[in-house]
């Protein structure tokens, strides 16, 4: 929905995704977008994608890091090591790789907006979701570091911490986990994609001019810090 809103407001969009079906659906919905199939947890693939998208769009002003997987739902003593490494690789390393390759292009133009999608799990931790919680806490810390590094460059870096939203990522979770997370939201409902997109698009705009290295809550009252 973020890409759709940016397109509606006149922006050009590049979408990166591992799933070719998702990319085809995006093309069908959004129209003229640059689409790249890649694994954001693979640095070489991110390097190639950054080059291709820069060539296609001419310049990159906005980067939204939203790729994420939940991993297994299990206590730490039973958590599969392979799942742990995969979650950290996509959620954290993928964010690092994308920023590493896009930031130099923004520095050339003296302007940029980066929005990293973290989670309330990164603030509070969710039981039986240790890899996801750890990865999102790391994204928050990474955002603070990068935002301070770039504070005088014209590039602002912020993260958001959504509670549970109606999104395809829920397909990776058992219903019991979804019910637990809904029960923690004082507003008593899951978030909607357009609500998240509205916050992301403000952070990605010129109107966001004095906020960087910050974390913005969008959790229906679950986390208020």
- Residue whose pair of structure tokens reads 């603030």 in the numeric block: 123
* 81-135 pLDDT per residue, tens: 999 999 999 999 999 999 999 999 999 999 999 999 999 999 999 999 999 999 9
* Best CA proximity match to 205, nearest among 1, 5, 35: 5
- 2-13+60-218: what fold? Rossmann fold (3.40.50)
Catalytic residue among 97, 111, 132, 180: 132
Kindly report the backbone phi and psi dihedral angles of residue 84, in degrees, each rounded to the nearest multiple of 5, phi listed first: -55, -50
Is 111 designated active site? no
DSSP structure string for 76-134: GGG--HHHHHHHHIIIIIHHHHHHHHHHHHHHHHT-EEEEEE--THHHH--TT-HHHHH
* DSSP tag of 188: S
pLDDT in the model for residue 169: 75
Read off the pTM. 0.94
Question: Under DSSP, is residue 5 helix (H, G, I), strand (E, B) or coil?
Answer: helix
What is the rounded average pLDDT for all residues in the chain? 95
pLDDT in the model for residue 124: 94
Instruction: Measure Cα distances from 113 to 4, 37, 104, 122, 200 in Å.
Output: 17, 23, 13, 22, 10
User: Residue ranges of the domains in the chain?
Assistant: 2-13+60-218
Q: How far is Cα 175 from Cα 172, in angstroms, rounded to an integer?
A: 10
* 168-211 pLDDT per residue, tens: 778 878 898 889 889 999 999 999 999 999 999 999 999 999 99
């Amino acid at each position: 929905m973020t890409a759709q809103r940016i397109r509606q407001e006149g922006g050009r969009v590049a979408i990166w995704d591992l799933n070719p079906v998702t990319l085809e659906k995006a093309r069908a919905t959004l129209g003229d977008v640059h689409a790249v199939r890649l694994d954001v947890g693979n640095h070489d693939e991110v390097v190639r994608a950054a080059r291709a998208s820069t060539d296609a769009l001419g310049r990159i002003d906005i980067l939204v890091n939203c790729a994420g997987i939940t991993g297994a739902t299990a206590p730490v003593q039973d958590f599969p090591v392979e799942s742990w490494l995969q979650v950290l690789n996509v959620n954290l390393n993928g964010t690092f790789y994308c920023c590493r390759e896009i930031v130099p292009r923004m520095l050339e133009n003296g302007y940029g907006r980066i929005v990293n999608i973290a989670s309330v799990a990164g603030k509070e931790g969710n039981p039986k979701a240790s890899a996801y919680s750890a990865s999102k806490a790391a994204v928050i810390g990474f955002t603070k570091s990068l935002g301070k590094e770039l504070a005088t460059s014209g590039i602002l870096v912020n993260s958001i911490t959504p509670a549970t939203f109606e999104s395809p990522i829920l397909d990776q979770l058992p219903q019991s986990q979804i019910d637990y997370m809904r029960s923690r939201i004082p507003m008593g409902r899951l978030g909607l994609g357009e609500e998240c997109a509205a916050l992301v698009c403000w952070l990605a705009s010129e109107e966001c001019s004095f906020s960087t290295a910050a974390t913005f809550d969008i959790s229906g009252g679950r986390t208020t810090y």
